[in-house]
Structure 1
Amino acid sequence: MTADLPISRFPVPSLAEMPDDIRERIEAVQEKSGFIPNVFLALAHRPDEFRAFFAYHDALMDKPGNLTKAEREMIVVATSNVNQCQYCVVAHGAILRIRAKDPLIADQVAVNYRKADITPRQRAMLDFAMKVSQSAQEVGEPDFETLKSHGFDEDDIWDITGIAAFFALSNRVANVSGMRPNPEFYAMGRG
């Protein structure tokens, strides 16, 4: 049974072993969601990296701006799928379903965002995010012009870039560590 498998191939400290600030953050997440997402536990064995990872995550994902929180999650789901990151597709798919208030959207975006029930603006956003994720060296002025024609400004373009790049790192760490999605994520936001 998958619940019996380890959540990471690397050490996972107990809550009691964690520095106070990390334990308090994890307990706050547990209080809000009803469980501890495995990413928090898996990264806690490297406290300085945990703090840096979540500081950048929060700066990208929780900020106000022209990208909605659901659109930010779309970027994560689409790029994590192409990077074959089970953890991020499942966990952020759950968050996307909740933020978009749509039980179908995460599966559509993960499987093939080009066929998903999204706006042309969102499709252009994901086209760019995928290019950043897979072939950033090819990004050029025509890509920026396409985004601007859909109403994205320079800050939006930076955010799309940052999210795609940050989750490329996250996807690789999750894949190498064998990080497992919590079972709770699979049912969240499905109705």
Structure 2
Amino acid sequence: MSIIHTPDPAEATGPIAEIYAKDEQDLGYVADYTRVLSANPEAYLAWEQLVKAIVAQLGVRRYELVTLAAAQGVHSEHCRLAHGRKTLKVIDEQQLEPIARDYRDAGLSEAEVAMMEYAERVSTESASMTEADSLRLREVGFTDREIVDITLAAAARNYFSRAIQALAVRVEVPPGISDRLRGALLAPL
């Protein structure tokens, strides 16, 4: 799991028990990344609220595509797998597999490809980004609010991915991921 000691689900109380219960309901178990990051339940709950605020404006499909691209940029197998599974709620596996392998050649709209390229760049080269990066998003139809939300979604993914990587959380394959999709999500990044 990690060097961080966390309570077993049966022993968790208060906010940690509530956080664990969400994973148990969704996954059937408590993910190691949830256990580790809920060592600070206030920060974990604030993280969930941040994500809800971003998704409320950006929409689930766009949020998940941005998340997959940002996770690719930060080389997060954890988040590629977890959000590959979550993306299956809005994109079927037949379409998601090519997106996971190469979103630029997966039949996405020009706007979705630009959004994902931007999110990946946030993860790999944010310090060298310029106004031109944001202008590209405007050129393909995104509003200022959407550009901010895309940026926040990518940056939030970097926060979460880097934290679980730094804490040496083991990578888990969530239920509902086929071998083919897992291979696409974990293909060399």
CA distance in 2, matches of 1:185, 1:14: 24
Q: How many angstroms does 1:147 deviate by?
A: 1.2
Cα offsets for 1:139-177 (capped at 9, x unmatched)? 223222221122211111111111111111211122222
CA distance in 2, matches of 1:18, 1:160: 35
Over 3 Å counting, the alpha-carbon distance change for 1:132 and 1:52 in structure 2 is same
What percentage of aligned pairs have identical amino acids? 23
Aligned twin of 1:111: 101
Aligned twin of 1:43: 37
CA distance in 1, matches of 2:87, 2:42: 28
CA distance in 1, matches of 2:7, 2:122: 34
Is residue 146 of structure 1 aligned with residue 136 of structure 2? yes
Greater mean alpha carbon deviation, residues 12-21 or residues 70-79 = 12-21
Over 3 Å counting, the alpha-carbon distance change for 1:23 and 1:16 in structure 2 is same
CA distance in 2, matches of 1:73, 1:41: 22
Query: What TM-score results when the alignment is normalised by the length of structure 2?
Result: 0.81
Over 3 Å counting, the alpha-carbon distance change for 1:109 and 1:143 in structure 2 is same
Query: What TM-score results when the alignment is normalised by the length of structure 1?
Result: 0.80
Aligned twin of 1:4: none
CA distance in 2, matches of 1:183, 1:95: 10
Secondary structure of the equivalent of 1:13?
A: coil
Aligned twin of 1:3: none
Name the amino acid aligned to 1:8: S
CA distance in 2, matches of 1:75, 1:180: 20
CA distance in 2, matches of 1:149, 1:39: 37
Q: How many angstroms does 1:28 deviate by?
A: 3.6
Greater mean alpha carbon deviation, residues 67-76 or residues 17-26 = 17-26
Aligned positions, number: 179
In structure 1, the gaps of 5 or more residues are 1-6
Q: How many angstroms does 1:33 deviate by?
A: 4.5
Greater mean alpha carbon deviation, residues 137-146 or residues 110-119 = 137-146
Contact 2:70-2:123 within 8 A present in 1 as well: yes
Q: How many angstroms does 1:53 deviate by?
A: 2.5
Written as runs of structure 1 = structure 2, the 5 A alignment for 1:66-145 is 67-100=58-91, 102-145=92-135
In structure 2, the gaps of 5 or more residues are 182-189
Aligned twin of 2:175: 184
Is residue 156 of structure 1 aligned with residue 150 of structure 2? no
CA distance in 1, matches of 2:25, 2:15: 15
Two-structure CA RMSD over aligned residues (Å): 2.4
